[in-house]
Amino acid sequence: MLKSWKLKEVVLMSVFAVVFALVYLLFVQVGNIWAGVIGPIAYEWIFGIWFIVSIICAYIIRKPGAALLSETMAAIIEVMIGNAVGPRLILSGIVQGLGAEAAFAATGYKRYDWWVLCLAGIGSAVFSFAYGFFVSGYAALDPSLLVLMFSLRVMSGAIIAGLGGKYVSDGLLATGALRGYAISRDTSKNHQLKGEAIG
């Protein structure tokens, strides 16, 4: 899967995995605090944060496997630095990464518009919810609560992971930090084509 990758792409993905493993662990605490106020459904509002590294890496690197690998790496690192869930979290990371990867694969890894990023966030939400249904005993919950949980997670995936991932990546692109990566080349190419169309 990494055969056609450049070393700098692997390094960038690794850096993001470390950074977001820390962010993910921090948001576990945020979720715990909020859950103490409004109950377990609090996590659904912010669930998209746990998908965001897959969106960012796929959007920047634009190669098959970027979403899956980055999310899996972040989960492994999160376990190593102390997430209480333990090794089972790695499987969650794989499932979430596959959900995002499915959206990019559906476009043949050729489209990275905002709506594709939102679909990737939704894909992570759907895959993770299906996984949670079987592993976390969601089946025992009231159907109306399940619908609410699912809706909030999908919305969070689209907004926080999809649009949020685009916002973070575009911000980094504007600084010039992503020069030489696919996102920079494609953006320059699109600007050039628009200029030719106007001219």
What is the predicted pLDDT for the residue at 21?
Answer: 96
What is the predicted pLDDT for the residue at 3?
Answer: 65
Q: Please say whether the beta carbons of 123 and 154 come within 8 A.
A: no
> Domain locations in the chain?
7-198
What is the predicted pLDDT for the residue at 193?
Answer: 52
Query: 3-state SS string over 25-92?
Result: HHHHHHHHHHHHHHCCCHHHHHHHHHHHHHHHHHHHHCCCCHHHHHHHHHHHHHHHCCCCCCCHHHHH
pTM score of the predicted model: 0.91
Q: What size, in residues, is the chain?
A: 199
What is the predicted pLDDT for the residue at 27?
Answer: 92
Q: Please say whether the beta carbons of 33 and 55 come within 8 A.
A: no
CATH class name, domain 7-198 = mainly alpha
Q: What is the pLDDT along the chain (199 residues), one digit of tens a residue?
A: 666 899 999 999 999 999 999 999 999 988 889 888 888 788 999 999 999 999 999 999 999 999 999 999 999 999 999 888 888 899 999 999 999 999 999 999 999 999 999 999 999 999 999 998 888 888 888 899 999 999 999 999 999 999 999 999 999 999 999 999 999 998 877 655 555 545 5
| Residues in contact with 198: Cβ distance below 8 Å, sequence separation at least 6, in sequence order | none
- C-alpha torsion sign, points 13, 3, 79, 97: positive
The DSSP annotation for 166-190 comes to: HHHHHHHHHHTTTTTSHHHHHHHHH
Distance of CA 16 to the CA centre of its chain: 11
What is the predicted pLDDT for the residue at 2?
Answer: 63
